Amino acid sequence: MVKAGIIGATGYAGAELVRILLGHKEVEIKWYGSRSYIDKKYASVYGNMFQLVEDACLDDNIEALAKQVDVIFTATPQGFLAGVLTEEILESAKVVDLSADYRLKDVEVYEKWYNIKHKSPEFIEEAVYGLCEINREQVKKARLVANPGCYTTCSILTAYPLIKEGLIEPNTLIVDAKSGTSGAGRGAKLPNLFCEVNENIKAYGVSTHRHTPEIEEQLGYAAGEDITINFTPHLVPMNRGILATEYASLKKIKQADGSFSLPTYGQVKAAYEKYYKEEYFIRILEEGVFPETKWVEGSNFVDIGFLIDERTGRIVMMGAIDNLVKGAAGQAVQNMNLLFGFPEQEGLSLVPMFP
């Protein structure tokens, strides 16, 4: 059995890690780390764990934790892991970090967008960006995995094949995304109160959201050049889910008769299938069917649909995920499965909940 420890186990992503790992055949949770609830029974924090978890919460001493487990999940605010990570820790245990500390390869970009000083930039280069469907082989050999953000996972996977195959103009990409309130975390914040969120929808972080450079960096690798996009997130009154609607100008491509014209539905579908046909967790929907967050809730699936708008020469791409599963904890477990050679679906055969 692989022994796992979680720091930040009482946040929403940490709690989702607990829920998933309790159903994993090859993992035993040894450490429920939570600075806010030290010595309190985990089940007293999350009543759904009554008689399922008997352990009490421990602190966030990652050095002590690394000596007791094989893998550490850090579901912590930005800056925590960067401030405590050492070579000794990485020699003792593999680390899957759910924060942004090691996602961006340019430390200056990280410090600009997150407005904090990076305290261990020496580990940035070796960290593997844990988008399993794209970086699977690199993840398998990693010691440190930077688990992607929720908006970024949905946004990148929805557009990646079309950018990689040169079917769209990358710098015309516009990402309009909506998220449930769990994406903001469990902390008490005025904008997230029921009366503030209910019967309301609002944009936030307009042109300044921290996931923007992450999306640009990863899609830039696919394009083979630096790209600039528009990304606007919105908060909607639901618990879970992200729906990203993305727009981009199509490139004219050479057809079989030698002429140049916009890609057909079949050519776009073929691009998606080239990269995702064998990917269990990515579902390319039928023509004319578009994703809904309810279809993926509680699961590790990504649903993708698209429509070619011949009138404007643009394509509309849509992706949906559960922000706490594929957007956080589920993806972290998927990365762990790769790290230890487990079947990628182990612990993640979660049928979406409906209604």
- Check if 150 is active-site: yes
Whole-angstrom distance, CA of residue 159 vs CA of residue 164: 9
Q: Evaluate whether 319 touches 304 at the Cβ level (below 8 Å).
A: yes
Which of these, 293, 292, 93, 106, lies nearest to 183 by C-alpha position?
Answer: 293
Q: Evaluate whether 106 touches 100 at the Cβ level (below 8 Å).
A: no
Q: What residues are paired with 302 via a beta bridge?
A: 282
Tokens of 322: 């559960």
Whole-angstrom distance, CA of residue 244 vs CA of residue 305: 11
Query: What are the residues whose beta carbons fall under 8 Å from the beta carbon of 260, sequence distance 6 or more?
Result: 252, 253, 254
The one catalytic residue in 57, 150, 154, 195 is: 150
Q: Evaluate whether 74 touches 96 at the Cβ level (below 8 Å).
A: yes
User: Greatest CA span in the chain, whole angstroms?
Assistant: 71
Query: What are the residues whose beta carbons fall under 8 Å from the beta carbon of 64, sequence distance 6 or more?
Result: none
Tokens of 32: 């429920």
Which of these, 98, 114, 121, lies nearest to 183 by C-alpha position?
Answer: 98
Whole-angstrom distance, CA of residue 188 vs CA of residue 194: 11
Tokens of 14: 């940490």
Which of these, 96, 71, 101, 98, lies nearest to 12 by C-alpha position?
Answer: 98
Whole-angstrom distance, CA of residue 31 vs CA of residue 64: 10
10 Å Cβ neighbour count for 37?
Answer: 18
Q: Evaluate whether 320 touches 296 at the Cβ level (below 8 Å).
A: yes
- Return the H-helix or E-strand segment holding 146: strand 144-146
Q: Would you please indicate which residues are annotated as catalytic (active-site) residues?
A: 150
